[in-house]
Amino acid sequence: MNDALRICLWEWEGILLDVKAKSLIYKDAQGVDAVVYTDGYYPDARKGDSDEPRIGAVIFTRDRETPMATTIEIPKAVMDLWIPRKTQVVMVESIAVVIAMETFGEILQGKRILWMIDSEAVLGAIVKGYSDRCDICNTAAMFWGMVRSRDVEVYADRIPTDGNLSDGPSRGSWRIAAASGWAFVPAQIPADLML
């Protein structure tokens, strides 16, 4: 048992203790209220990539005509807290989820959300609520804490990279966003990522 697993168990206990009764069958189902896409980019030295690590997120909601997108380079102070690895792409994809939840938090409050992720490792950590890596485990716990505090219902699913609408923003490209008239929202990094 490590600190990350303790945090995850604490978050799951919070979810179970704070649960509000909800029907599993929606008689007047309207589907989901929002669809969120998240992605992370980490340079691949084998391909000669030199851009800075970055996340991207896109949100579509029923109550807003204009989709919104965000992106941000990952500060070195945040990356310095991660477990050292050859590549940090999974960790970047992992924090994309919590940065998106922080950035779009008010919009997502009380909504049913379909969350699209193209990383199987991150999707697995989010669905299970933990990972065998402490830093990824911490982001999973942080995500579920944010879900609980915002009274959000989330269904996370895998999307192929080619279908992930946040792929462009995660690479600093606004071609599709600009052509589609998406609004830009400044990304907000949760303070807990800096601890």
Tens-place pLDDT, residues 13-42:
887 787 666 555 555 556 899 999 999 999
DSSP class of 99: H
For residues 18 and 110, the model is more confident at: 110
Rounded to whole angstroms, how far apart are CA atoms 159 and 117?
A: 6
For domain 3-13+31-188, the CATH architecture is: 2-Layer Sandwich (3.30)
**What is the C-alpha separation between 117 and 92, in angstroms, rounded?**
12
Q: Residues of 104-127 as b/e, b for ≥16 C-beta within 10 angstroms?
A: beebbeebbbbbbbbbebbbbbbe
pLDDT at 21: 62
Cβ 125 vs Cβ 142: under 8 Å: no
pLDDT score of 25? 52
Where would I find the beta strands (DSSP E) of the chain?
34-41, 54-61, 68-73, 112-117, 153-158, 183-184
d(CA 114, CA 181): 22
Q: What is the pTM of this model?
A: 0.87
Domain boundaries along the sequence of the chain: 3-13+31-188
pLDDT at residue 26, as a whole number = 53
Give the per-residue pLDDT at 7. Answer: 82
